[in-house]
Amino acid sequence: MSVSPFFLQLHSAYQAEMDDLSFDSEGRDVLRQRLVDKRKELSFLLQMIEVSPEMVAVVFHQGFRFPLPAVMDHLLSHDADELPEWDTLADAAQLTPWAQDLMQVILSEPMGPWFMTVAASLEYMRGKLDAAPATPADEAVDDDDGDDQARFDEHEDDETRARDEAGADWMVEQGFDRKD
């Protein structure tokens, strides 16, 4: 699977934002409460969806299901200006009931549909990396953009290529050009 520089950079920023939210200064896990607080601040955060989408996307943490991972894998190869419309991803990125209310607020914004595609992609990437088994090489280095790409590439196999192809076919069916 190929991940665009756009998503590699955003993933690093998203991961840093999640890390910042996860623990307080005494090392206690406060992620759940901080996410509740962030969700309450959504009207303020809306002004950042284009400039710093990773800071807003955290409100959707654990709010997606991905029944068509091949589509999501293929989506990660796109740059910011090549993303499909949010409504075309309904089968690939489904929201949990609590997240649907947040989505309605986001979609009322001019950049809302673009942002929802980005938010789903970031949450998908986070879940994919969390599910990937760590290797000694992963543990020995910091997670920068090159390490993220290496980790994604390392777990590519025949099944992933088949899913990528299925995702590419789906995108073509939606009217997008095939991405090489």
pTM above 0.85, yes or no: no
- Give the model confidence (pLDDT) of 70-128 as tens digits: 999 999 999 999 999 999 998 999 999 999 999 999 999 999 999 999 999 999 999 88
- Helical residues (DSSP H) of 29-135, grouped into ranges: 31-40, 42-45, 53-57, 69-75, 97-107, 112-131
Q: Residue 82: which residues within 8 A CB-CB, separation 6 or more?
A: 176, 179
- Give the model confidence (pLDDT) of 127-174 as tens digits: 886 655 544 444 433 444 555 555 555 544 555 566 667 777 777 777
